[in-house]
Amino acid sequence: MKFKIGDLVKVKPNSPIYDRLKDTNSLAIVMQSARLMYVFDQEHVDTLREFWAYTLLIEGETHCNIPEEGLEIFENEDEEDFE
């Protein structure tokens, strides 16, 4: 699991929801902890592929089961680290 609740993330072009966004530069908020999901591998029907998926809030809409590999953390270069 790469992200935690409240993280700001960007949706990458390889994400299944990228083409449905009104503004592809929109940021998303991680709304729930990651869930481990499974899909059948299209090349090997008897093989399950596992991946982590998140529920995101983007442009005022909730999107569920968004694969982790289609997301990246948003880092603000101007933000100071107070740790």
Tell me: the pLDDT tens digits for 49-77? 899 999 999 999 999 999 999 999 998 77
Give the three-class secondary structure for 19: helix
Domain layout of the chain by residue ranges: 8-73
Question: Is the model's pLDDT at 82 over the cut of 70?
Answer: no
Longest dimension (CA), the chain: 49
pTM here is: 0.80
pLDDT at 75: 84
Per-residue confidence (pLDDT) for residue 80, from 0 to 100: 65
* Alpha carbons 1 and 68: distance in angstroms, whole number: 8
Dihedral sign, CA of 6, 12, 18, 24? positive
